[in-house]
A and B are shown apart, each in its own frame.
Chain A
């Protein structure tokens, strides 16, 4: 819901012809990632809070290993993100008439960026659920960790749109490396958060 609202607000106020041709690839990739990140953050924060509020968290603690819980939550979040991207990205491209020179590279950046986004935020969501002030804390904690990923993805989308040579897809590699490292660290650290 948040995603659709921001998307409409952005495309309504900016339109597809306000921005000069030369500026477009850069500004569009920034806007796209801002919409994606913030709508993802507003949804993902709920993943563990739900359990805490429903009181099912103790049952989960007894019945499943922490790694399994983490992977389950991660899978759920990634599915959510995938659906979100599937909805936002095509409509963004259509509404803003976003021209992309390398569609393959663009899609790869979007997918790997989504993976990184999910991996970086899941463990933060687990911590938030057990803190006393939840509201703004999730974004405050997630954004600093996500910023390197966001910068990389914005650059990647920009380059895919302009069509600068992208041999080896460096941005995709960085995003995938981020994903792998975040998952490894989360698997190591999650049991500590979970049992506390």
Chain B
């Protein structure tokens, strides 16, 4: 309960600060650079949850604990959600700064492939009836998908040049305004907190549903 209240307050502070405290970066039309405080955390949470999902899948394959699979499934689902949000907010930003919602910028290309990969992950889950087999296959697919991600993030964007703002908004860049940096890190923290809360909620739902599953009928035939 305390966690929820703290999270809400913190999130409210961050949103207010993002509008009033931090200063807009130069080089972008009007106040649009404030998107940094909302769009980038989505992408960060999406990446984080895919990482968690992959690790949890590996743990499940090694130890066969159902809990690890719940974590993998929940993280993949949330990652998918945040990935969609990052895509939508990114394309609105693209509209205001580059003039079009979609122009197959390398970043946009890779995020679409990422969305497809995780769409396919859910397809694996829905295609296999036997719960144990479903978990193993989903885990295997998750790891395979994760292996191809570096190809997307590092290989594809370098072939063509990107319009995606990098240096002006990169927190590691020394030119970043200290106020902006403070709010940005606070925002990352706030969205990560939100993500953890949603993740735990989802895992609890899956656990309860798992307890309800009839034990004796759990091995349904898949190809008879």
Q: Which stretch, B10-18, B77-85, B129-137, B189-197, touches the partner chain A?
A: B129-137
User: B119: which A residues are within 8 A, CB to CB?
Assistant: 144
For B62, the closest partner residue in chain A by CB is A192
Pick from A147, A174, A189: contact of B144, CB under 8 Å: A189
CB within 8 Å for A174 and B113 given contacts A52-B223, A130-B128, A193-B137: no
User: A178: which B residues are within 8 A, CB to CB?
Assistant: 148, 151
Contact A130 B143 (CB under 8 A): no
Contact count band on B? 20 to 34
**Distance, CA A133 to CA B128, complexed state (A):** 8
Q: Which stretch, B19-27, B33-41, B88-96, B152-160, touches the partner chain A?
A: B152-160
Q: Which stretch, A15-23, A26-34, A61-69, A148-156, touches the partner chain B?
A: A148-156
User: B198: which A residues are within 8 A, CB to CB?
Assistant: none
Q: Which stretch, A2-10, A70-78, A89-97, A135-143, touches the partner chain B?
A: A135-143
A 118-147 contacts with B by CB, 8 A: 123-124, 127, 129-133, 137, 140-141, 143-145, 147
Chain B nearest CB, measured from A135 CB (Å): 10
User: B147: which A residues are within 8 A, CB to CB?
Assistant: 181-182, 185
Contact A148 B113 (CB under 8 A): yes
**Distance, CA A149 to CA B116, complexed state (A):** 15
Pick from A52, A127, A174: contact of B137, CB under 8 Å: A127
**Distance, CA A130 to CA B151, complexed state (A):** 28
Contact B155 A148 (CB under 8 A): yes
Chain B nearest CB, measured from A189 CB (Å): 5
Q: Mark B61-74, 1 if CB is under 8 A from A, else 0.
A: 10000000000000
Contact A185 B144 (CB under 8 A): yes
User: B151: which A residues are within 8 A, CB to CB?
Assistant: 148-149, 152, 174, 178
A58 contacts chain B at the CB level, 8 A cutoff: no
